[in-house]
Structure 1
Amino acid sequence: MASDFERLIAEGESAPVAGWDFSWFAGRATEQRPAWGYARLIGERMAAVSSGLDIQTGGGEVLATIGQPPPRLCATESWPPNGAIATRNLAPLGCAVVQVGDDQPLPFRPASFDLITSRHPTVVLWHEISRVLRPGGTYLSQQIGVGSNRALYEYLMGPLPHPADTGVERVRQALADAGLTPVDVRHESTRVTFDDIGAVVAFLRKVIWTVPDFSVRRYRQRLSELHDQIQREGPFASSSERVLVVAEKPAQRMAPSC
């Protein structure tokens, strides 16, 4: 009979990883949400504009929660399996899903959208966002802050250099360089817990940038030690670092008449 460790590892390795649906983790892991309520914010703002774009939408799970879509709604996604899920999830909103690489230029004309949103983007092309945003338009994003899940990745990989800041100043500088005006840029640290080693494995397979070279084979010994620790001490605690970004593209000024 397989040990609890082997059983949980097998469950984690077989967990679905497409899209950003985390329902598999119910009862096995928890993540506190930032106080600003990102899903609520995009729902309110999408209902008030005529055109919106969601960048790196994943499976469209968050965008699909908006109550009232704008007349024109588009989304981009780079990974084909996610794109297929997003197309299905977002069809009721009349949303066009476009496949494009995360590091590739956005396939839209300049000044195309009143609102651009993005949750947990892996790459942010600030100048592209500025280009396709209409003057007076808004960029709204929840981004992964510096050092997110540090406790987890350092448990597996060992101590790593600590960054000098949370990422807020980097974001402010990037906005300025792209000609965007920051309205609200702030950081929040929230609690994450893993109740069993299967949840850890599934998370690291899904959120691949946490431990970029992760595989069960490579980290088997440390996973076994973490399993024993959870068995003795209870859930393993880490933290998510999140940065809210709300910025505007300055409205064009009319030239004075003669």
Structure 2
Amino acid sequence: MRTFEDLVAEGEAVPTEGWDFSWFTGRATEQRPSWGYARLLADRMAKAEAALDLQTGGGEVLATIPVAPPVLAATESWPPNLDIARRTLAKFGADVRQVDDAADLPFPSDHFDLVVSRHPVRVRWDEVHRVLRPGGAYLSQEVGAGSVRELTDVMMGPQPVNPSRSPMVLVAQAEEAGLEVVDLRQEALRMEFHDIAAVVHFLRKVIWTVPGFTVDAYRDRLARLHDFIERHGPFVAHSQRILIEAVKH
């Protein structure tokens, strides 16, 4: 049986660049939303003339589309992800730009008929509205309020839920920017962590779960969680996901 220290060292050693979660196979699971974001993305992209993917990560999700629009652009703020995205999306001839999550978008007004984003850190709704053509749509899968809060609370103690991630707030922000919300769905999805290496890698990769996480700072809590998993089986948490689609008139 592998020791706590062995598992922690393994979780620390896995690279965190990009949004490829294949390393977790056999070590952690997450239920997928019923709406199938990748399927919706492929359908919308096949019909678009000009599309933009915001905060694309390493471009892994966008790269799954079978048909790309004639004009395709993407933004990413983190330099290691940017290099991966440029390589991953080169097959589409995509224009991949480095853009801070809170910054203005470096594209003309009324330029895209489709803007998409999967798990954006922040949405500049005013900029989404500006770059969309009249009749264009924004499609996004958002991380909802209290996502994975069970793991956050184990590491940090009980934490307040950020209301800015609620569906009502998202709808209000979209409407304030001049968009009409035409689809809104929300689901809580079961997650299981089968060993502490998976927990460590997840917390290093999904950095907003425990802000400022390091193994040294949380070693005692990790050790207690390791003991729990060894005695009782997988640690269960729930991710919160929201699908929102809005159009510009």
* Class of the TM-score when normalised by the shorter of the 2 chains: over 0.9
CA offsets, 1:163-182, max 9 Å, x none? 66961100110011000000
Q: 2:18 matched to which residue of 1?
A: 19
In the aligned structure 2, how far is the partner of 1:177 from the partner of 1:103?
17
CA offsets, 1:117-163, max 9 Å, x none? 00000011000000000000000000000000000000011112346
In the aligned structure 2, how far is the partner of 1:135 from the partner of 1:83?
30
Q: Structure 1's 89 and 152: CA in aligned 2 closer, same or farther, altered over 3 A?
A: same
Q: Structure 1's 208 and 164: CA in aligned 2 closer, same or farther, altered over 3 A?
A: closer
CA offsets, 1:173-197, max 9 Å, x none? 0011000000011211101110000
- What is the Cα-based RMSD across aligned positions, in Å? 1.3
> In the alignment, is residue 236 of structure 1 matched against residue 235 of structure 2?
yes
In the aligned structure 2, how far is the partner of 1:165 from the partner of 1:106?
22
How far apart are 1:244 and its partner, in Å? 0.3
**1:106-117 correspondence to structure 2 within 5 Å:** 106-117=105-116
* 8 Å CA contact 1:102, 1:123 repeated in 2: yes
In the aligned structure 2, how far is the partner of 1:94 from the partner of 1:3?
45
Give the unaligned 5+ runs of structure 2: none
Provide the secondary structure at the position in 2 that maps to 1:8: helix
Q: 2:31 matched to which residue of 1?
A: 32
* 8 Å CA contact 1:166, 1:187 repeated in 2: no
Q: Structure 1's 233 and 19: CA in aligned 2 closer, same or farther, altered over 3 A?
A: same
Q: 1:253 matched to which residue of 2?
A: none
Provide the secondary structure at the position in 2 that maps to 1:160: coil
Name segments (4+ residues, structure 1) moved above 2 Å: 161-166
- Residue type at the aligned position of 1:66: I
**1:210-229 correspondence to structure 2 within 5 Å:** 210-229=209-228
Taking structure 1 as the reference length, what is the TM-score of the superposition? 0.94
Aligned residues: 249
> In the alignment, is residue 56 of structure 1 matched against residue 55 of structure 2?
yes
Give the unaligned 5+ runs of structure 1: 251-258
In the aligned structure 1, how far is the partner of 2:178 from the partner of 2:163?
25
> In the alignment, is residue 160 of structure 1 matched against residue 159 of structure 2?
yes
Q: 2:117 matched to which residue of 1?
A: 118
Q: 1:92 matched to which residue of 2?
A: 91
* 8 Å CA contact 2:150, 2:238 repeated in 1: yes
Q: Structure 1's 164 and 14: CA in aligned 2 closer, same or farther, altered over 3 A?
A: closer
* 8 Å CA contact 2:56, 2:75 repeated in 1: yes
Provide the secondary structure at the position in 1 that maps to 2:245: strand
